[in-house]
Amino acid sequence: MGKDIVRYLLCMGCAIILLNSCQGDAEHDGQATAGQQAVDSLPMLILQIQKCARLYTTEVHVHKIVTHDDVIRLRGSLLKKDFNLTVPLGDRKIAIPMNATLKAYIDFSQFSEKNVERNGERITVILPDPKVEMTSSKIDQKNIRQYVAIARAEFSDAEMSSYEQQGRQAIIESIPSLGIIETAQENAARVLVPMLVEMGYKEENITIAFRKEFKTDRLWLKSIEALR
Amino acid sequence: MAQKYRSAEIAVIALLALVVAVWLYRGLQSSHVELEVNDGIGLTPTQIESIKAIGQWEFLAISDEELIDTVRKGFFRNDQLARIYYGTLRLGIDMRQVGPDWIRLENDTLRVLLPPVGLLDNNFIDEARTKSFFESGKWTAQDREQMYKRAYHRMRQHCLTPANIRTAEDNARENFKKLLRTMGYQNVEVEVRSEK
């Protein structure tokens, strides 16, 4: 009886070790397991549909490497003496490459007769201010590089998402320095002039103008507000 | 006499100990120690890879959120990763696809033949906006890439419906008529080519 119990316990122990090692392998090879055992258990869908009339005139592809240097520092004061020390073996670093597409557009939803001036054979189209929107972004998952010291935990998915969102915001904030608006205005003319020529106007009689002599800074602020 | 000296010594030592204790107490009261962890990202430049002129009219924007999760079954516990992906599918027409004589003036009627309405850009997911909802276990870049692909296909499946394409076509007709009327043409007929 006693031998049976020992044998039973030994068998159970071997089985647990074997299964546990299988689980370890599975975790190591994420792609294979994701393909074989990944189960979709939480489908959810939220949709928002919006009618619009926008003419996209310029597409810009940008690249950014988001970096995060995570060093734990011990700081404070002891007996009125300040100190600021780096905790040994507490470094973590990550670099996340990302690509984004920005598009500049003219919003025609409020376009009316007030935007068109006709004088005989001449036509002047006064367009609203161009705006810029981030239409997509893609994280280069395969080229993410990270270093984690022995005393620290791996970067979690939530932490990486937070850095990616900060990187996205940094791209939006850099839009004013990219000079897209001027290009968007020129390109709007390139789309509209051939259309007006098809309608029977002579090219030399067509003028594409913008709503006002706007201050670039104000325009950018508007565009950024719209993105947020 | 010796006892007197000893008493004085004890009194001095006690006084010194009191002074040191008060000094230490005051010093420790004003002391503080904290661990500081940096949550921000570094300052890196945003580089322009390309700029190109396009001519795309957008008539319907469908914003979508998809909760994608993946579960890896183990003996003792299941590992799980759930992320929320955001994307906007833009339906409209691409002016590169217009045919010759797409705008014709016949008597007093302006006839317009627009190219088929379709998805303006195949890259519509804003992956940098993705929210991590739940994570247990260790997940790799390949796992996240697979989840991105599933979100992509699900968004296409949910948003690129015949009903949405019809709505975009109707809006295209309506807006082109409005645009051309503002330019002085009262009789405008707009047709949208159907996808082959």
Q: Where are the domains of chain A?
A: 50-227
Interfacial A residues in 81-120 facing B (CB < 8 Å): 87, 98-101, 103, 105, 108, 111-113, 115-116, 118
Closest of A23, A157, A118 to residue B143, by C-alpha: A157
B163 lies in some domain: yes
Q: Which domain holds residue B94?
A: 55-192
Contact B55 A144 (CB under 8 A): no
- Closest-CA distance, A5 to chain B, in angstroms, reads 23
Looking at the DSSP bridge assignments, the partners of residue A11 are none
Looking at the DSSP bridge assignments, the partners of residue A95 are A67, A145
The verdict on A153 touching B (C-beta cutoff 8 Å) is: no
Phi and psi at residue A93, in whole multiples of 5°? Answer: -140, 145
B83 lies in some domain: yes
The verdict on A39 touching B (C-beta cutoff 8 Å) is: yes
Contact A160 B56 (CB under 8 A): no
The verdict on A54 touching B (C-beta cutoff 8 Å) is: yes
- pLDDT for position A217: 44
In contact, A65 and A58? CB cutoff 8 Å: no
Query: A112 contacts in B (CB within 8 Å)?
Result: 182
Kind of pairing, strands B109-114 and B187-192?
A: parallel
Query: For an interface test with A, which of B127, B138, B175 has the most A Cβ atoms less than 10 Å from its Cβ?
Result: B127
CA B130, CA A26: separation in Å to the nearest integer? 26
DSSP state of A103: E
- pLDDT for position A227: 42
The verdict on B93 touching A (C-beta cutoff 8 Å) is: no
Query: A67 contacts in B (CB within 8 Å)?
Result: 41-42, 44
B14 lies in some domain: no
Helix (H, G, I), strand (E, B) or coil at A192: helix
pTM of the model as a whole: 0.78
The verdict on A222 touching B (C-beta cutoff 8 Å) is: no
B32 lies in some domain: no
Give the mean pLDDT per block of 10 residues along chain B (196 residues).
81 92 81 81 91 96 96 90 97 93 89 96 97 94 96 95 95 94 90 82
Length of chain A: 228
Q: Which two tokens stand for residue A59?
A: 């597409």
CA A131, CA A99: separation in Å to the nearest integer? 20
Closest of B152, B149, B15, B176 to residue B93, by C-alpha: B176
What's chain B's Rg over C-alpha atoms?
Answer: 36
CA A170, CA A227: separation in Å to the nearest integer? 12
The verdict on B105 touching A (C-beta cutoff 8 Å) is: yes
CA B177, CA B185: separation in Å to the nearest integer? 9
| Half-sphere exposure (Cβ direction) of B58: Cα atoms closer than 13 Å | 26
Query: For an interface test with B, which of A23, A66, A105, A183 has the most B Cβ atoms less than 10 Å from its Cβ?
Result: A23
pLDDT 10s per residue in chain A (228 long)? 444 555 545 545 555 554 444 443 333 333 434 444 555 555 556 678 999 999 999 999 999 999 999 888 888 887 778 888 888 888 899 999 999 999 999 999 989 888 999 888 899 999 999 999 999 999 999 999 999 998 888 999 999 999 999 999 999 999 988 889 989 999 999 999 999 998 888 999 999 998 754 443 444 444 444 444
The distance from CA A139 to its chain's CA centroid, rounded to whole angstroms, is 8
Across the A:B interface, residue pairs with CB atoms under 8 Å apart total 305
- pLDDT for position A22: 41
Length of chain B: 196
B77 lies in some domain: yes
Closest Cβ–Cβ partner in B63, B110, B126 for A48: B63
- Asked whether this complex has an ipTM greater than 0.90, the answer is no
B13 lies in some domain: no
- pLDDT for position B123: 96
pLDDT tens for residues B100-127? 889 998 888 999 999 999 999 999 999 9
Helix (H, G, I), strand (E, B) or coil at B126: strand
Closest of B61, B162, B191, B174 to residue B121, by C-alpha: B61
- Closest-CA distance, A208 to chain B, in angstroms, reads 13
- pLDDT for position A10: 55
DSSP letters along B34-95, please? Answer: EEE---SPP--PEEEEEEEEEEEEEEEEEEEEEEEEEEE--SS--EEEEEEEEEEEEEEEEG
CA B70, CA B88: separation in Å to the nearest integer? 23
In contact, B116 and B192? CB cutoff 8 Å: yes
Neighbouring C-beta atoms of residue A177, cutoff 10 Å: 10
Contact B58 A73 (CB under 8 A): no
- pLDDT for position B194: 84
Helix (H, G, I), strand (E, B) or coil at A35: helix
The number of folded domains in chain B is 1
CA B80, CA A13: separation in Å to the nearest integer? 27
Tell me, what amino acid is at A26?
A
